[in-house]
Amino acid sequence: MARHNKKRNVGLIYELLIHRLSKAVVENDKKTIETVQGIISTRFQKGTELYKEFRLFNALVKTADVSEQLAFRILNEAKKASVDHNPHRLDREKSLLIKDINHRLNETSFYDTKISNYPVLASAQQLFNNWRSSDSNILEVAKHEATLQQWLMRENLAHDIASEKTPEVNDLTFQLMQEKFEAKYGSSLTKNQSSILKLYCEGNERELATAIESVKRNVSAQIKKYSKKATDRFLLEKVSKAHNVITGSKFSSDADAISRVMLLDQLAAELKGKSNV
């Protein structure tokens, strides 16, 4: 059986990069965030062989709860797609990705991070390699196909924020970010907060900016509505100052700014409740 080389496993490398990015976001390590985002945006560009193989990983690893027949069809389609890849170009792109990680990130412990679905990622890569090989190992192919078929048929128990992610966003990113924000707020995320978190993890800055402005307008409207009914002068003065700060502030897309926006959304919800009393 061929030995699995995890440094040339695109699915695994992407998981490791997202894990490192998530850790950097939690620690507000802006330099590492910029470095990892740069590696992902440079090496996983649409149209590259690396991106094509990454999409195959997503099709196999992210899919769940399908019938045996559909799982077989998915594997068959994945085989056709993998054979169409340019192996020489893919190999070169993988080498450049490894070089970027070694030189730009330069962390000896990068590959040591444990990934929960590592066996599935390893089987997928071994399967791609065998499918493309003119001298594939039939027993090895059968073993890995069985592993992936069982994985595709597994029951999908995820019914939380992770179900809203796009295929390109890793489960671990959402898990770490959700834990961070929920620990800060002490409660589950609102619908708006979940949407903002999703956009932030995806790096969708345009839609994120629109969502932030929407939160600002909403909290501003709730403050005005609350002020009309409040009678405490001291409180009204504080609310007025808060309103001026909120409307005059420009929020960036870093972790601290997103945290403040999430808090503003929580404030809007609380003010709405008080205004309706």
**pLDDT above 60: residue 166:** no
Same-domain check for residues 11 and 83: yes
Q: Quick one: what percent of the chain has pLDDT higher than 70? A: 74
Check residue 163 and give its pLDDT: 47
Q: Is 16 in the same domain as 131?
A: yes
Beta carbons within 8 Å of 49's beta carbon, 6+ residues apart: 85, 86, 89, 90, 93
Do the domain assignments include residue 201?
Answer: yes
User: What is the number of domains present in the chain?
Assistant: 2
Task: Kindly tell me if the per-residue pLDDT of 275 is higher than 50.
Answer: no
Q: Are 143 and 71 in a shared domain?
A: yes
Q: Tell me what pLDDT residue 103 has.
A: 95
Q: Which two tokens stand for residue 201?
A: 């993890």
> Are 125 and 172 within one domain?
no
Domain shared by 102 and 234, yes or no: no
Among the three residues 152, 171, 186, which one is the final residue of a domain in this structure?
A: 152
Task: Please give the angle made by the CA atoms of 219, 204 and 31, to the nearest 5 degrees.
Answer: 100
Give me the mean pLDDT over the 119-126 stretch: 94
Q: Does an H or E element contain 121, and which? A: helix 118-132
The answer to whether residue 146 is domain-embedded is yes
Nearest Cα neighbor of 36 from 92, 91, 106 is: 106
- Quick one: 143 and 175 in the same domain? no
Both 178 and 145 in a single domain? no
- In this structure, the answer to whether residues 141 and 268 fall within a common structural domain is no
User: What span, in angstroms and rounded, lies between the C-alpha atoms of 24 and 29?
Assistant: 5
Average of per-residue pLDDT values in the chain: 80
Range of the domain at 221: 161-275
Pair (132, 91) in one structural domain: yes
Q: Tens digit of pLDDT for each residue in 36-68? A: 999 999 999 989 999 999 999 988 988 888 889
pTM of the model: 0.58
Tell me, yes or no, whether 147 and 188 share the same domain.
no
Residue 1 belongs to a domain: no
Closest listed residue to residue 26, CA positions, set 258, 261, 267, 263: 258
pLDDT at 197: 73
Grade residue 31 by pLDDT with cuts at 50, 70 and 90. very high
Please give the average per-residue pLDDT across 129-140, as a whole number.
89
Give per-residue pLDDT as tens, 179-191.
555 555 445 567 7
Inside any domain, residue 52: yes
Which of 152, 180, 205 terminates a domain? The answer is 152
CB 54 within 8 A of CB 11: yes
Domain closes at, from 128, 152, 176: 152
Average pLDDT over residues 70-85: 91
Same domain? 180 vs 103: no
Q: Do residues 156 and 66 make contact, with C-beta atoms less than 8 angstroms apart?
A: no
